Each structure stands twice: as C-alpha cells, then as structure tokens.
A and B are shown apart, each in its own frame.
Chain A
Amino acid sequence: MKHSVLKPLAAAGLALFLSVPVYAEPAKSLTAQGVMLANEVSRKSITEQSSMQMTLTNANGDARVREVLMLIDDTNSLARKIYLKFNSPRDVKDVRILTLEHENANEDDDRWLFLPALKKVRRISASSKGESFMGTDFSYEDFEVKDGVVGSKNHTYKFLREETIPDALGVKKLCWVIEALPSTEQEIRDSENSKRIIWVEQQHFAAIQEHYFNKSGVLFKVRTSSDVRPYTTDKSKTVWRPMRIEMTTVESGHKTTLIMNDFKVDQTLPTKIFTRQYVETGEL
C-alpha cells in the first residue's frame, strides 16, 4: 500500500467536499466524527437488498462460493434488522439468520438461526460479535451499523491524515484516514476490535479500506471496497455503495470476496420478513 504524505485538508479535497451539498461547510470544521457521519449519509438508505456472491479463498487459492440473499431494514436508524438466507451451496442451503438490533446499544441484539439439518429455529447468542459469519472472514459485527449516528455513541474518532491509495481495482483515491476506537464498556468488551483505521475517499465518502486490530492491538483483518456505484433512494437522494468488498485475514491469508448482485435500495420489504416466524418458514 502506498501512503501519501500527511497534509491538512487540501483545496482539491475541499472542492470535492463542497460538491456534496449536504456537507457544504468549511473543511476546517470537518471533524473525524463528521467524516464518519458523512460516510453514513452517503451510503444510508432505508432498506437494501442484494444477492451476494461470497467467495472464500484460502492461501493456496482454493475457493468455495456461497450465494446469500441479504435484506436490511434501517427504517429505525438506531436498530438495524438483517435477514440472511443461504441459497447455495447445497450443504448450507436454506440456512437462515435474523438479527434484530436494539436501540439501546447496551442491550445484546436478538438473533435466530434456522438450520436445515435440525429443521428448527434456534435462538443464538448475539454477544459474540467477533464470531466468524458462516466460515467467512467477516464477523457478525461486520454486518452491524458500526459508524455514523449509532457508531458515534460507542466509538471515538480521530483524524489521522490524508492519503491517496489505490482501491482494490487499482483506481487511486484521495482519502481521509480516520481512527475509530470503541469507547463504551460494552463495546470494548464485546467487539473483536480494539481499534480500526478507516480510509474514507473524498469523492463519495465511501470507506474503501479498513484495518482491524484485535484485542492485542495487532492488525488481523483488512477490508477493501471498490466498484462504488450510485443508487437513487426513494427520496431521490443518491447513495454510493461498493459492489465489491473483500476481507482478508492477515495471519492465514484467507480471504472472502463479496460481489453484490441485483443490488437495490429503498424497495419496500414486508415487515414479516424480519420475524422469527419467517426465519422458521422461509415463506411469506
């Protein structure tokens, strides 16, 4: 990775920043938290849905591919609802997971898992956020709303520097580099991360790279996001989303690549989807 020289917010960056009307304020007043709030606004929709292709690749290059339907409801911006259903391969087909976050960040989320081998719904603990999500390099925590309005309640953000880095497709992007630290007792205890460093590109406020540090302070995962595309919400707002996200576990060299297919925002999702009953039946 190429690191540029740290410098204050440059005129070019300011111009780009000013091109986003919502945040047309002097760059000097832009705090690290402000960047993360802007990042949230730039990606925030009420609902989203996608058929994700997850490719799990080990250090030898052996790959396994999983197709997952992901439905997210952020109607309550403080309490995300996430429904995931595996469509392939056959050995995990029809595994369904529902996570309902609570507004009170100190409460554990509710989570249910349907396993076809048992043919029943199990309540599972949501406190172990660092648990691997179905063998991928992503954890359950990685699917939560970590930054923005919610994240500001249990994280502190620090502006580190500006830097130009290539994204995963090799396109160079000028970024703000932000350090995020868990700040509440619960977040410090439950999160798998002691620290994150986030590269937020200045054109669309997309977080194109993130370094995760474990409880011992060691870098253990790296995420990159690329192929950032615009989507129009039902309020005619444009949000920017990466269609390719890659998470690599540093020690093992294992990586998981997500490709978002059929990505849609602000489509009406039946409320029944985000219920225990739907996890059990899989049918509306």
Chain B
Amino acid sequence: MATPSLLATPSDRANSGLKGSVVFIANRLLAGQLLLAILATHSAQSAKAEEEHPRFSLLDAGGRIRTEYSRQTDNSDDKFLVKFEPELKVGIGESSTVFFKPALNLSLLGGYKAAYDDQFERSSWSKKYRFNDYSSAELRELYLTSKVGDGLLTLGKQQIVWGTADGLRVLDVVDPVDFTNFIMDDPADARIPLWSANYQVTLPAFDLQLVWIPDTTFNDYSAEPNWYYLTSPKIIPGAAPAGVTVQQNKVDRPGRNPIKDADYGIRLTKVIGGVDLTFNYLYHYNDDVVIYSQLDPNNGNPVVTVSPTYRRSHLIGGTFSFASGSFVYRGEYGFNSNTYVLTKSPTDNNGAVSRHEFSYVFGVDYSGLTDTMLSVQFFQSILSGSDQGLVRDKVDSTVTLNASRTFLNQTWRTEMLYVYSINDRDSALRARVRYNQSDKTSYYFEFDHYAGTINGLYGEFRDKSRVLLGVDRFF
C-alpha cells in the first residue's frame, strides 16, 4: 500500500485527470461495445425463445440518494456529500438479465480536487469521471447474467465476494477496496466492482465458480492529507535522509493484455454434514502497490529512486462455517506465495522484500439474545523468514468485535464495530445508530474513533475521528 502523494505531483495528477477524462470516455465506449456485442449475440441465439417471451422487460427500477455530512472532532474539517445511485434491471428473453448501476457524486463543499483524485490505482476501464471539484460519476455495476449450460454466466462490471470474515480480508481480495473513508464504509459500497467474467455451476460433487478478471484496478487510497491519507510507516516508506534527493518513477502498472495480465480464480463450495466448506485459488496481482527504492551515491549527491509497481501472487485457501446452538463458527485461511513488506530503511533490499504469508481469521457469532448479534474475530498474519529489518512483525494479530441490536421491529438499529491491533495497540471504532422512519427514508448517526500509536494503521488517524449524519432516501 502507498500514499498517492509519493507517487505523483499534484500537477501530474491534474494533468492525468484531464487526459484521463478522454481515456475514460473512450474506454467506457469500448466496454459498452463489448457488452452490446455480447447482448446482440445472445439476442440472435435466443430469437426463437423470444417469440414466446418478450424480448425486453423491466424487472426493477429504483435506487438510493444518500446525503451525508461529516466533521472531524479534533478540527473543523468537514464534508457534505450527496450520492445518487439509480439501479435498473432489465430482462432479456427468458433467461438473461442486465443490471445497471451508475453513481453520481456531488461534493457540496468541493472535495473532488484533482490532486486528491489521481486514480493511479484504477485501470482506465474503472476510473471515475471527475466533472469538476464538485461532482464526479462512476459506473458501479453493469453486467449481463445469462444461463450457459447448467450454470450461470455473469459478464461485466460486478462484485465478486469470497470469504466468511467481516472486514478482515484473507480471501476477499478478488475485488479491490476504495479506502476513501478508510475501513468505515459498508463492504458493498467500499468494494470496487471490476470488469470480469464469473461462471457458477452446480456439479454433482460441488458448486464450482470460475472467474476471469482482466480489469487491473487495485486498492484505491485517499490522497487527501486532511482525511484518510495513509502515513503509517507500515504502509508508507520513511522519509529520505536529509540531503538525499528523491526521484520518483511513474507507477509501473500491469499491461492491458486481457489474458496475460488478468487475474484468474476458482472456488469450490460444498456443504458437508452441516458445514459450509470452500476451497479457493486465485492467481492475481496483489491489490497493494509495492514501493521499491534504490540509492545512487551519485558522486556525493545521493539520489533515491522510488519505483512503485504491482506484483503477482498465488493465493490458495479455504473457508468453513457451521452453526451449533446459538453460535455460528466461521473461518478462512489463505497462503499467499508473495507478500511484499517494506524494509525499515528504504534502501535495504530495494525498500521491500517478498515473503510467503499464511493468514487466517476465526470468528464466532452469537445470536442467543433477542434481536441481537455479537461477533468476535481473531485475525493473524504470519510471514516466512525473519522479520529483522522489516516494518512489521513476523506475526501480526488483530481482534475485532461486532455488536448489533434492533429495536421496535427494526425501526431502530444500533451497531458497533471495534478493531484492535494486538501488535501496535491501536484501534478503530465505528458506532452507528440508524432510524428507519419509513420504507423510503432512514436517518443515521455515526461516530468513527481512532486511538493508539501514530505509527499504527489505525492510530495514524487518531486526530481524525469524526461524527457523521446521513439520510438515505430510497426510490
């Protein structure tokens, strides 16, 4: 992971943003043409069936308007956002549907500055379109779902979700995450849908899922210094020593070859004796940028060259979950062939080393109290080799606590998420109260609090706790 500020100057970002607009539109058109071609092919193939069934039928139309005001508690930084998310689902013939979900974002206080919106993590297929400092748009989802053989093929921009853990990601890395609000957004809002093909079929022995993801978009980190701009040395290389010039190369992104540069995955699912089991394999680019640094003495005028890039990895793992009485036990584990960890000195080993990583989450949900859910998770990541000279410990452990309760027939809902890093002793807390006034309107109040060491992943935001008021209007 890296902060965008290390990777491009504001003017670079502004320029790339303007050029990106043209590229964005061109790629939207290409993607749209691809989908239309698929639709046309499908339409021709199923013409006979359509004699009996209407060619197009409106299955669903609606959406959500979210209005949200947030303000940091330690200063006067605030945001006022409106997000318009219509949804449309159209049936095609007897066995296909198309789902379309764009998003229009308005920042009433002008937050979409080009410098904060470099989007270098996103492929040209999945960039947001920034109209100006006050408004942007993005295609959230656009996919065709169709029966193919005995299975179901989903083609287009979609979310693919793996794993059983909440918030902690061991296997749920098929899609990257937008960290604009760090870890506080709901998963479906934070996940970045990717252009992918997803085939799911039930075989006699198990359920099979095959995924192909040519869209090379990665975790998108905020570049806003006043908000959730990452500074933890666990993620960001330390500053260069005094007198050392820093030279930064462009981000070395994967190519656009849809075969060679794509991610591939397979998941097998089976329920055995009341236990849900999955086996997962993903050949993919790690969603976090790897930042290499190289020191050149340069005859007494040392220069550090920073080279951000993305690296591939094999991920193999599985999940389980089962219920017993009022408890549900669930877990997931994964072996990552290549995880890249920063070195304490930016110039040791070119600033980053590759290690094997085994990580797992074990969670217990308890629902023995009326209208209440309590959930505890333990996460651990274990690196191969020694941790000497690395910015993180060999074994890194995190605990989460999640509690929610509804009142008055779900008119009110309270929920609390607490994340605590055992190694760094820092934490993040999200407390939320939601009032469902009617079927169409709900209000919520949220308090996000960070505490602990400034060098920790959560403690780095200890001066950026915030309160948030929001209204969801459904239509």
Q: A125-B327, A281-B200 are in contact. Are A118 and B161 (CB under 8 A)?
A: yes
**Which of B75-83, B214-222, B336-344, B435-443 binds A?**
B435-443
Q: Which of A111-142 contact B (CB under 8 A)?
A: 111, 116-120, 122-128, 130-132, 134-137
In the docked arrangement, what's the CA distance between A120 and B321, Å?
13
- A124 is contacted by which of B367, B409, B440, B472 (Cβ under 8 Å)? B367
Residue from B63, B152, B159 whose CB has the most chain A CB atoms within 10 Å: B152
User: How distant is the Cα of A89 from the Cα of B368 in the complex, in angstroms?
Assistant: 28
- Which residues of chain B (419-440) have a CB below 8 Å from chain A? 436, 438-440
Taking the closest CB of chain B, its distance from the CB of A272, in whole angstroms, is: 7
* A interface footprint on B197-212 (CB within 8 Å = 1, 0 otherwise): 0001010000100000
User: Cα distance A251–B324 when bound, in Å?
Assistant: 31
Contact for B367 among A89, A131, A134, CB less than 8 A: A131
Q: Is the CB of B145 within 8 A of A276?
A: no
Docked pose: A26 CA to B144 CA in angstroms? 62
Q: What residues of A have a CB within 8 angstroms of the CB of B200 in the complex?
A: 277, 280-281
B371 and A131 contacting across the interface, CB-CB below 8 Å:
yes
Contact in complex: B161, A91 (CB < 8 Å): no
The reply on A269 being an interface residue by CB < 8 A is: no
Residues of B within 8 A of A187 (CB): none
Binds A, one of B36-44, B103-111, B114-122, B269-277: B269-277
Residues facing A in B118-173 (CB within 8 A) are 145, 147, 152, 159, 161, 163-164, 166
Contact A56 B370 (CB under 8 A): no
Instruction: Assess whether B161 is in contact with A119, with CB atoms less than 8 Å apart.
Output: yes
A252 and B408 contacting across the interface, CB-CB below 8 Å: yes
**CB atoms of A117 and B188 under 8 A apart:** yes
Q: Report the number of A-B residue pairs with Cβ-Cβ less than 8 Å.
A: 118
Q: A119-B159, A127-B323, A281-B152 are in contact. Are A91 and B62 (CB under 8 A)?
A: no
- Cβ of A64: which chain B residues have Cβ within 8 Å of it? 436, 438-439
A124 CA to B323 CA, complexed, in Å: 7
* Cβ–Cβ contact B161 & A120, under 8 A: yes
Contact present for B191 and A124 (CB under 8 Å): no
Whether a CB of chain B sits under 8 angstroms from the CB of A2 is no
A155 within 8 A of B: no
Interface string of B324-358 (1 = CB under 8 A from A): 11111010000000000000000000000000000
Least CB distance from A68 to B in Å reads 13
A134 contact set on B, CB distance < 8 A: 410
Q: Give me 19 other A-B pairs in contact (C-beta within 8 A), A58-B409, A110-B323, A252-B408 excluded.
A: A56-B409, A66-B439, A91-B436, A91-B439, A91-B474, A108-B324, A116-B188, A117-B188, A118-B166, A118-B187, A123-B322, A124-B365, A125-B367, A132-B409, A254-B408, A276-B207, A283-B97, A283-B147, A283-B152
Selected A-B contacts with CB under 8 Å, 23 pairs: A89-B439, A89-B474, A90-B64, A91-B442, A91-B474, A93-B62, A108-B325, A118-B161, A118-B188, A119-B161, A119-B187, A120-B161, A123-B328, A125-B323, A125-B328, A128-B326, A252-B408, A254-B408, A276-B276, A281-B152, A283-B97, A284-B147, A284-B152
Binding site for A on B (CB under 8 A): 60, 62-64, 97, 145, 147, 152, 159, 161, 163-164, 166, 186-188, 191, 200, 202, 207, 269, 271, 274, 276, 321-328, 330, 365, 367-368, 370-371, 406, 408-411, 436, 438-440, 442, 472, 474-475
Sorted from nearest, which 4 A-B pairs have the closest CB atoms? A135-B410, A90-B474, A89-B439, A123-B321
